Amino acid sequence: MHKNLLAVLLASALGTTASAQKATSPAAIKSYSAAGKQVQVYTTAASTQQRLAAGDKLSFQEVGQPLETQPTIFVDPNHTFQTLVGIGGALTDASAETFAKLTKAQQQEFMQAYYSPTKGIGYTLGRTNIASCDFSSDSYAYIADNDKELKTFNVKHDEKYRIPFIKQAIAAAGGKLTMYVSPWSPPAWMKDNNSLVKGGKLKPEFRQSWANHYVKFIKEYERQGIPIWGLTVQNEPMAKQTWESCIFTAEEERDFVKGYLGPTLQKGGLGDRKLIGWDHNRDLMYQRASTLFDDPEASKYYWGLGYHWYETWTGSGMQFDNERRVHETYPTKNLVFTEGCIEKFDFSKVNDWTLGERYGNSMINDFNAGTVAWTDWNILLDETGGPNHVGNFCYAPVIGDTKSGKLIYTNIYYYIGHFSKFIRPGAKRIATASSRDVLQTTAFLNTDGKVAVVVMNNSEKEQAFQLWIKGQAAQATSQPHSIMTMVVN
């Protein structure tokens, strides 16, 4: 009798296990097929007139095992990774002031070029500065000196240029723009060096006042019609700059968030805003991540980690492996590229092809490392690479030449567009691999079912290849110094 009961229980248990295995079997997932689909190719290439130019449609044919002599880009939509939040750029004081100098027709053209998903490149993400930064015409704060209670808080400075500029961008984007905000420095009197610039640290007695300041800023911007999705704790917290800056070690950031900023956001009804740590270069990002996220009390407030690409100032190349280390160690936290631009502006080099190639190289590698959102720096600058109150002039994708009255679209704009126009919020990155190092690639599956495959060739040589998806292949050619987006529909 006991044996029979045991047999029944075993049979029941085995049956339950088998059912569970069957329900979650990969074979039960509908497999993607490219059979019968077409590929629309868009290309931007050096020494041509092609700029996001639509080419002929390609067709898939059944192809078996590729040979080693057949250059191939493999795409596997059955394996998905992170979900894209958005791609965009920073709406700074400098961008807003330059925009104000454009004619009404140029302003409309500019907004359409960036924010229309059909006639432009469809930006969906934005960042802006809390108080002044290097890309402001001057240094400023939102409160009077020694106003610990923030009774004098106001954003009147921003109402002249920046707030109207951001509101136009939101309208141009169809009424929704995922915006996040970053401070460059607390007010000078809150810091131990009594200055907005050249680093310094937040005095302990002002930690609560400074935490309250983030809440004041977010609520005032939202009152003025600019919804704020998230915030970073501090722009470049390990950089002592000639412009607005403030130093936070990893432990100091952790303790400020754990003891002040995190609880203050929650108490202020902003606990659902995405809080992003670090917001500095890839070189030190793992150490920062481990310090912030290994502390459970601090970690609970953090949605993710932001990073920049300026580790190259030390002579290093871009350190994409550090992103991968953070992503594999803390898979529940989100990686965000919060800033990048090319420095040392030279107007005579606005048509230099390497400008866009640096962006393409970074974006492909950043997305493949797990990044969910990618933010360029200033979306618009003038013919000096400014305005900038410390002479730190840089390139932007679009230059508003106020002397000639023309908008100049650098190839940065087109390279970013190969991602932002065709990879939309909600898209999931899918598995992709190239059999040739000359062809860099990443791919996403959009919510409408379209697959977007980006292929970049930085070499001097044309490269024929096949786009291979589960036994179906389409023949294509990558031009020298080009980027192409292949949309499978």
| Active site (catalytic) residues | 236, 339
Strand partners, 304: 276, 334
Separation between Cα atoms, residue 468 and residue 474, nearest integer Å: 7
Sheet holding 398-401, edge to edge: 380-382, 398-401, 406-409
CA angle 10, 11, 14 (to 5 degrees): 85
The Cα 186–Cα 150 span in angstroms is 12
DSSP 235-252: SSTT---SSB-----HHH
Which tokens go with 203?
């005095």
Paired with 436 in beta bridges are none
Residue type for position 13: A
Q: What are the φ/ψ torsions at residue 151 (nearest 5 degrees)?
A: -70, -25
Place of tokens 């951001």: 166
Q: Where are the beta strands (DSSP E) in 124-224?
A: 125-130, 178-183
Structure tokens at 322: 């550090």
- 3-state secondary structure at position 233: coil
* Backbone angle region of 426, left / alpha / beta, with phi > 0 → left and psi within -120 to 50 → alpha: left
β partners of residue 57: 40
From residue 155, how far is each of 140, 191, 194, 458, 483 by CA, in Å?
Answer: 10, 21, 22, 45, 42
- Beta partners for 129? 182
Q: Where are the beta strands (DSSP E) in 259-383?
A: 274-281, 304-308, 334-339, 371-378, 380-382
For residue 105, CA distances in Å to 99, 101, 313, 382 come to 11, 11, 39, 17
